[in-house]
Structure 1
């Protein structure tokens, strides 16, 4: 799954699984699978302490027949399940998950007694989302049984479970329904054992309006219109069901092939007026032709081709790299108008939001292209890593998400789009964000206990995704990519259709490499935090010491007990100027001496692959920066990005001076050609204006520095884009214009952006707004314009030509400086905005210093409304840090603590703690660094005017 801080993810037949792993409908008993499952589950659960948060293990499912009807007119659904059960211990009670469903009377047929029983009792636990059925006679241990249960539910706009989504077509609002089950919402669509370890096969049957399309994980094996009295082959139960549905509608029945053994959270189905595009791919291992389809509503299908093409390009590469055949007969993607996350890896039916999967080739900027490609590649990686082989419990979520991030967004993406420099971009997209979060005392280990449901949802964060991907990338670099991927292949082959824990993965990599990777990786995975490596020089080389890095720079000895095994990746230069990198160096102790020639240039963490910071003396840092600023420097693009990120983080922590960071930025900016280094500089300087926003004179000097660095680039590159120009030029132009315009310091850039929007307003022609400049133009128009510009952007938001245009318009609306328009935007959020879009307004407001305190007040005033509106999904854990995270005084901390006192924060307590820690850290940073910052800027200002 891609979170909203990333993005997200679809009928025909392909290959079949080997007979010993998969049996198609109608067979319900699969002895080889059941015996394997029973042994696996028994072994797994024997190591787990049962508690109130986990289902009993005495009864477990092996196969589901799920029949679901959908009425898009009444916004209702329902159906029944027939679940084949293995009875491990004698019991008269069967307990499973159900949430927000109306359940019928349960019946159970025992193979042992050849008898059918109706329930004699029913107990519902709303808190744990469970129902327990009691039957008159006990079910014997070692027997099999079939549980039958009807259910009904309402299609809500919750973006969880089986829910309703809306779209506009020719001025008319239309609806369709789809599922989103990860992590624990399959139980909101049908009664089930909703834990990842409890794998089973699923045979889905859908009953729907005849003029709609039904989709599920597997291909349809039959579809027929329902005509009362004329469907001789229709199941009696389905006939009874259909007879109870509104007779004024025409209905149809769609039956799908049975799935392989899989976890409930990747079951998926959808019903609506979908259309599709299709490609076919010949798979390299099996030689089978796999159809790939992408579905959407008719109004946007023309924007879906790129995502389909990415899927077609990456899926055969994954099969080759993993050396494991793609196990399903097809792969579909469904684009959803309303989606809580970014995208979701349902097996055979990827789902995702519009901006994660759609782009118009005529209007697509490079950011949109990357976003769609990363999303699709990430989700296709899950078809193996997560779906075939699944984490045993949510504490090992990173086994799914960290690996899909590394494979989907770096290793595989680099094979199809090498010009995107995916490995370098990973540093800014993932490594930096992971280290920023993990530098807090309120972070958590990659492998984190998550006993209850409210905790599970909160670990879909930068640690489970970005830090996990970062430590796997570090290991990959240390052992070599070829051996790393060989180990991954061994892991998958050993655990086909099974559930795994951390050591299973590292055992595979250890086998492939001959190294004890379990020992190397143990603390990286199971301990919170990461080290800073302090480097001092001596007569024979250097002395290195590791300590836990905390963003405040103050680490309590009790928080500094972990010793990581740190791949140092040491770059050195010989007397002939030849650079070499020693990737074998591993720091296994608190500190050690390393022999090298420190009269020459050197650097630790070559390529910025290590998950740590490096602290040099000011003198050595100056030498490194000087070398990095040279043409053809020995320090690569990745090294230069790492140098900048390290010195900025160290200055915030008080381990270096902010003036040192600014000096490094100025040095690198004097001769830099690469977009990603300029992007790192821009991020750092933007961070200063955001941090010191309540010191206007200081901020104006920082903005003047921004202008001095980026306006010359604007003048050199201009405003016109060419399809033939290098990608780096395109991205650098966009960045420079954004920074120069956003700084408010260059009237020429502002006027140019405003004039382009004025042309659009007067003519309706947007040809003067290139896709890559869309965001900058919209923001400049609203920020430096008035109501007319605001209303024009609002209309774009309500009827956007592309998903990216909608988001750009939302961010622009939130960048107004007019108090009345800020209030109007607040009103729009409350009354008109789509639920999935609210987070984009918040991001815009957080970047708008004229609205930061208003957004915090707005959140407080409407807290109960937002809690009710976003009950059950993940939005609140994003809104809390976006509402308060940019504040910077002790009074702010006190006010926030008082506001949340006594409130149930169980669904967002982690993000609240991290937000408060961020503000406290910022307060210390400002107090410690303001004089140093203003002093450096004053000297720079004098130099710049000479």
Structure 2
């Protein structure tokens, strides 16, 4: 049952519904304040003598209520009552508004432009040796109420007419195009006496020559969390696209502060290429007259899909047109495409409540559409490591949650913006698309969107659309995938005439107990087999919807379940089958595709960690794939090494053996590929070189370390960074700090402060956390607290938490500074990432108990899911150590003897 139904105490009273907002905001950047008033047009659904709406951190005054039906103002109690915990305010009326009537609430508000990256807030940028401010909004999930009084629930859609009052030398932006813009004077609004009197009360008229009023066109119906506006000194690059459905041309812009606007061209180009493709795929024209993007220097999330005005952080949208790394380009393209997809998924059709968040976030748009724009990037294969495996890792914990998750309380909403709402949702929809066929799936999505244009939806609405297109009972196939947590491991054994397959819930801590193993999923098996003609075929029609089933098959020939790794599950073969599959995967002409090989490696790591198979079998598979050519398989292999190293990080003997194994595996790749990046090189070669050099350096390859140090030293001596390719910035800075001292640390700190590009700054921040001198690590923490932007804290934590010398220092820092970290971050989504970054990297039961003890009695309502997930992860690694330390040590020692050391 939806949270909106089962927990009415968390919802606004259903007595009225907003239909339209006339919203006026004055922004005073010098004082870092804002004020204004709002007229909310209401449909009165029940007789009511009070109006309850959302408001947080605002000063409200002068409420008035006009009843259109009674053609009169209703006396209002001037004292507004507040429920701070629920973020609500209530206006009491002397006379009840009759059900079925219409009314208008006018109320004035004031607020401060804070730096907390939520609501209407301030962002800082540097120019001409000084700092200046601009303002922008971030309203998802429940922060519109921090900017203006409103009915702040996704189901309560309304139209918006926004007026912005600001200094004349600034730019105003909002969801819709500008309708008019004038220098403000008391005569400006003489045509609307009511508006003029309200503006006069803001005392704007006394400085007519310094203010302007910008009016924006009326919006379509939309949820409050999608409303957006901004004010500041912005510049833009502009393009346009022509709708393939109507032939209309629409302007497209990317806005940024003047110091960044030259880095926005790539994001603008991606937007222009993807919009017409989405129109074709959904068969629905983009409904607004323009689509802007605003790049923000301070931004809590990665990016936000405000209708007509996408916003996001610098790393999400800025790329140096001359010197950019491939990973940065892919990040910008993926982000821009994802946010453009939201113009349909989320904006034109919005989930009814946050329990269906995945209907917005699991679109797969950045896969299907980016593949059409950049086919050489192989994004369908990238999806397996970037999204599917991330989802499977989180969903293998007992502390996981279903995709469709009960979130009645606003305190919990931020926590579900995670790999389950994004990556598992996308993976489940990808599995469905493979099962019914991608064209049929997209046709079903189009049907779904058309039936709910400008409205709200739930899961069954999407299933109904795909069912109509496919003729399949989609609800029956998919319901358990979204309503139940977890996923199965499919165990395969050979029997006479075929194979026996059995499903049980997969947990990273080991086989599930009976009480945790109740779900039977409907599993598309996607069986790859070899026919009589010797050619491989894939049967996508096979379904496992019982605990176990026998499937006829010629097992003398190669076969594999989950062909192309499209299913949301792991596959466990008996040891003899595993050996046959591993041998086939290692062949140059293997029948197993790139996606198959990626999945085999990732499954082998997860199965070993959970104790379903020997860790030795994982190492054997990796060793057998040393002739592999494809980057994405190597990326999966490097994940395997990282898992072992992060689990046995305090066991020096095993860590040295594992690092030696990794060096020998990756050294031939580095020798073959070198350190230079020729123009026109294929993206997979670029990524493979970067990965090989990074793994070799991090695992201690002396030749690679010396080469990277030499390039860094050249930069220090000459100021010329031409010897450091953009793709090697991150590992070069990391190695310089890891194997250097104060001089290198200070120089890398300077790279962060110079801020040439977001990619360089983030690489430098992460590198600062890799100092081996604890005094420098302490300075890193002090520097972070006093100098870093709030949005960058998790990058500092990321570096410190992956440095074996500083993991415990970081945890102690959290424990000792918990109160001030909570005071600074509890109001935004960064908070949970800082908690996770501080505690997730440990691997002993003792650490788990100490962490658990510290958080006892603390208010963990904003991170309780994250805390439970971290503890589960630590204990799973502890069990792996307990179970496999002897086995891992023996295998690595034997390998070292056979291969002559590292």
Class of the TM-score when normalised by the shorter of the 2 chains: over 0.9
Do 1:105 and 1:118's aligned partners in 2 also have CA atoms closer than 8 Å?
Answer: no
Pair 182,750 (structure 1): closer, same or farther in 2 beyond 3 Å: same
User: What is residue 213 of structure 1 aligned with on the other side?
Assistant: 171
Matched, 1:930 2:885: yes
User: What is residue 675 of structure 1 aligned with on the other side?
Assistant: 631
Q: Following the alignment from structure 1 to structure 2, what is the Cα–Cα distance between the partners of residues 93 and 232?
A: 32
Matched, 1:830 2:785: yes
User: What is residue 155 of structure 1 aligned with on the other side?
Assistant: 113
Written as runs of structure 1 = structure 2, the 5 A alignment for 1:70-85 is 70-85=27-42
Q: Following the alignment from structure 1 to structure 2, what is the Cα–Cα distance between the partners of residues 47 and 511?
A: 27
Deviates more, 1:746-755 or 1:171-180: 746-755
State the Cα distance separating 1:686 from its structure 2 match: 1.6
State the Cα distance separating 1:626 from its structure 2 match: 0.7
Written as runs of structure 1 = structure 2, the 5 A alignment for 1:60-71 is 60-71=17-28
Candidates 314, 336, 348, aligned match of 1:354: 314
Written as runs of structure 1 = structure 2, the 5 A alignment for 1:387-406 is 387-403=347-363, 406=364
User: What is residue 728 of structure 2 aligned with on the other side?
Assistant: 773
How far does the alpha carbon of each residue in 1:333-392 deviate from its partner, in whole angstroms, 9 at most, with x for none?
000000000000000000000000000021210000000000000000000011000000
Pair 266,587 (structure 1): closer, same or farther in 2 beyond 3 Å: same
Candidates 903, 910, 913, aligned match of 2:858: 903
Do 1:570 and 1:603's aligned partners in 2 also have CA atoms closer than 8 Å?
Answer: yes
Structure 2 gap segments, 5+ residues each? none
Q: Following the alignment from structure 1 to structure 2, what is the Cα–Cα distance between the partners of residues 908 and 230?
A: 49
Do 1:575 and 1:600's aligned partners in 2 also have CA atoms closer than 8 Å?
Answer: no
Matched, 1:786 2:744: no
Do 1:79 and 1:241's aligned partners in 2 also have CA atoms closer than 8 Å?
Answer: no
State the Cα distance separating 1:786 from its structure 2 match: 0.9
State the Cα distance separating 1:554 from its structure 2 match: 2.8
Q: Following the alignment from structure 1 to structure 2, what is the Cα–Cα distance between the partners of residues 231 and 128?
A: 37
State the Cα distance separating 1:50 from its structure 2 match: 5.8
Q: Following the alignment from structure 1 to structure 2, what is the Cα–Cα distance between the partners of residues 245 and 435?
A: 59
Do 1:105 and 1:119's aligned partners in 2 also have CA atoms closer than 8 Å?
Answer: no
User: What is residue 122 of structure 2 aligned with on the other side?
Assistant: 164
How far does the alpha carbon of each residue in 1:223-248 deviate from its partner, in whole angstroms, 9 at most, with x for none?
00124557655741354045257739
Written as runs of structure 1 = structure 2, the 5 A alignment for 1:552-563 is 552-563=509-520
Candidates 443, 464, 468, aligned match of 1:486: 443
Secondary structure of residue in 1 paired with 2:262: helix
User: What is residue 706 of structure 1 aligned with on the other side?
Assistant: 662
Candidates 370, 376, 379, aligned match of 1:413: 370
Matched, 1:91 2:48: yes
How far does the alpha carbon of each residue in 1:478-498 deviate from its partner, in whole angstroms, 9 at most, with x for none?
000010000000000111111
Pair 45,564 (structure 1): closer, same or farther in 2 beyond 3 Å: closer
Candidates 190, 210, 218, aligned match of 1:250: 210
User: What is residue 718 of structure 2 aligned with on the other side?
Assistant: 763
User: What is residue 287 of structure 2 aligned with on the other side?
Assistant: 327
User: What is residue 912 of structure 1 aligned with on the other side?
Assistant: 867
Candidates 728, 733, 741, aligned match of 2:697: 741
Q: Following the alignment from structure 2 to structure 1, what is the Cα–Cα distance between the partners of residues 64 and 198?
A: 17
Q: Following the alignment from structure 2 to structure 1, what is the Cα–Cα distance between the partners of residues 199 and 491?
A: 73
User: What is residue 30 of structure 1 aligned with on the other side?
Assistant: none
Q: Following the alignment from structure 1 to structure 2, what is the Cα–Cα distance between the partners of residues 639 and 524?
A: 22
Secondary structure of residue in 1 paired with 2:62: coil
Q: Following the alignment from structure 1 to structure 2, what is the Cα–Cα distance between the partners of residues 256 and 99?
A: 25
User: What is residue 249 of structure 2 aligned with on the other side?
Assistant: 289
Q: Following the alignment from structure 2 to structure 1, what is the Cα–Cα distance between the partners of residues 2 and 466?
A: 25
State the Cα distance separating 1:879 from its structure 2 match: 1.2
Pair 143,171 (structure 1): closer, same or farther in 2 beyond 3 Å: same
Secondary structure of residue in 1 paired with 2:685: helix
Matched, 1:873 2:828: yes
Pair 764,238 (structure 1): closer, same or farther in 2 beyond 3 Å: farther
Secondary structure of residue in 1 paired with 2:10: coil
Q: Following the alignment from structure 2 to structure 1, what is the Cα–Cα distance between the partners of residues 546 and 202?
A: 69
Secondary structure of residue in 2 paired with 1:769: coil
State the Cα distance separating 1:712 from its structure 2 match: 1.2
Deviates more, 1:522-531 or 1:680-689: 680-689
Pair 134,50 (structure 1): closer, same or farther in 2 beyond 3 Å: farther
User: What is residue 181 of structure 2 aligned with on the other side?
Assistant: 223
User: What is residue 418 of structure 2 aligned with on the other side?
Assistant: 461
User: What is residue 140 of structure 2 aligned with on the other side?
Assistant: 182
Secondary structure of residue in 2 paired with 1:106: strand
User: What is residue 801 of structure 1 aligned with on the other side?
Assistant: 756
Pair 249,230 (structure 1): closer, same or farther in 2 beyond 3 Å: closer
Q: Following the alignment from structure 2 to structure 1, what is the Cα–Cα distance between the partners of residues 884 and 3?
A: 54
Matched, 1:532 2:492: no
Secondary structure of residue in 2 paired with 1:312: helix
Q: Following the alignment from structure 1 to structure 2, what is the Cα–Cα distance between the partners of residues 844 and 95?
A: 46
Secondary structure of residue in 1 paired with 2:109: strand
Do 2:82 and 2:90's aligned partners in 1 also have CA atoms closer than 8 Å?
Answer: yes
Q: Following the alignment from structure 1 to structure 2, what is the Cα–Cα distance between the partners of residues 442 and 395?
A: 17
State the Cα distance separating 1:48 from its structure 2 match: 2.5
Candidates 507, 517, 539, aligned match of 2:464: 507
Q: Following the alignment from structure 1 to structure 2, what is the Cα–Cα distance between the partners of residues 118 and 351?
A: 41
User: What is residue 91 of structure 2 aligned with on the other side?
Assistant: 133
Do 2:7 and 2:408's aligned partners in 1 also have CA atoms closer than 8 Å?
Answer: no
User: What is residue 197 of structure 1 aligned with on the other side?
Assistant: 155
Pair 248,892 (structure 1): closer, same or farther in 2 beyond 3 Å: farther
State the Cα distance separating 1:46 from its structure 2 match: 13
Do 1:87 and 1:139's aligned partners in 2 also have CA atoms closer than 8 Å?
Answer: yes
Matched, 1:307 2:267: yes
Written as runs of structure 1 = structure 2, the 5 A alignment for 1:369-768 is 369-403=329-363, 406-408=364-366, 410-669=367-626, 671-744=627-700, 746-768=701-723
Secondary structure of residue in 1 paired with 2:89: strand
Deviates more, 1:436-445 or 1:117-126: 117-126
Do 1:45 and 1:57's aligned partners in 2 also have CA atoms closer than 8 Å?
Answer: no
Secondary structure of residue in 2 paired with 1:341: coil
Do 1:162 and 1:179's aligned partners in 2 also have CA atoms closer than 8 Å?
Answer: yes
User: What is residue 846 of structure 1 aligned with on the other side?
Assistant: 801
Pair 152,246 (structure 1): closer, same or farther in 2 beyond 3 Å: farther
Do 2:186 and 2:205's aligned partners in 1 also have CA atoms closer than 8 Å?
Answer: no
State the Cα distance separating 1:576 from its structure 2 match: 3.5
Matched, 1:112 2:69: yes
Q: Following the alignment from structure 2 to structure 1, what is the Cα–Cα distance between the partners of residues 600 and 849?
A: 36
Do 2:61 and 2:108's aligned partners in 1 also have CA atoms closer than 8 Å?
Answer: yes
Pair 415,443 (structure 1): closer, same or farther in 2 beyond 3 Å: same
Q: Following the alignment from structure 1 to structure 2, what is the Cα–Cα distance between the partners of residues 84 and 46?
A: 27
Structure 1 gap segments, 5+ residues each? 1-43
Q: Following the alignment from structure 2 to structure 1, what is the Cα–Cα distance between the partners of residues 615 and 568?
A: 22
Secondary structure of residue in 2 paired with 1:243: coil
Q: Following the alignment from structure 1 to structure 2, what is the Cα–Cα distance between the partners of residues 230 and 455?
A: 45
Do 1:845 and 1:851's aligned partners in 2 also have CA atoms closer than 8 Å?
Answer: yes
Do 2:162 and 2:215's aligned partners in 1 also have CA atoms closer than 8 Å?
Answer: yes
Q: Following the alignment from structure 2 to structure 1, what is the Cα–Cα distance between the partners of residues 232 and 188?
A: 25
Do 1:209 and 1:249's aligned partners in 2 also have CA atoms closer than 8 Å?
Answer: no
Q: Following the alignment from structure 1 to structure 2, what is the Cα–Cα distance between the partners of residues 118 and 281?
A: 52
Do 2:186 and 2:196's aligned partners in 1 also have CA atoms closer than 8 Å?
Answer: no
How far does the alpha carbon of each residue in 1:881-909 deviate from its partner, in whole angstroms, 9 at most, with x for none?
21011112222122111111110000000
Do 1:692 and 1:698's aligned partners in 2 also have CA atoms closer than 8 Å?
Answer: yes
Do 1:75 and 1:155's aligned partners in 2 also have CA atoms closer than 8 Å?
Answer: yes
Do 2:2 and 2:355's aligned partners in 1 also have CA atoms closer than 8 Å?
Answer: no
How far does the alpha carbon of each residue in 1:614-647 deviate from its partner, in whole angstroms, 9 at most, with x for none?
0001111111011011112100000000000111
User: What is residue 224 of structure 2 aligned with on the other side?
Assistant: 264
